[in-house]
Amino acid sequence: MNLKYIFTIVIFTFQIYFIYRSVRGLDKNNDIVDISTINSFFLLFLAHDNLMFLFILYIMILIDLISKF
């Protein structure tokens, strides 16, 4: 099996998990907005193959973690 297909399956599973989490709505503390933002920047990174979007994603995760303390 080609590595490209494995990567596509992993990304598809990752996206389905994020959609499930955001639709489920059981998160308290507005995690749905955070998950949607993280998912958006991850999709931009995959679509444009630009590390800038991955860097923005990393900053958003850090802000999310800091705000929970």
Q: Dump pLDDT digits (tens) for 12-58.
A: 777 666 666 665 555 555 555 566 666 766 776 677 666 776 777 77
Tell the residue number behind the tokens 């599973």, with chain if given. 13
pTM recorded for the entire structure: 0.43
Calculate mean pLDDT across residues 1-10: 69
Domain extent, residue 7, equals 3-67
Tell me, what's the pLDDT at 55? 75
Tell me, what's the pLDDT at 56? 73
Q: How many domains does the chain have?
A: 1
| 29-42: b (≥16 Cβ within 10 Å) or e | eeebebbebbbebb
* C-alpha gyration radius of the chain: 13
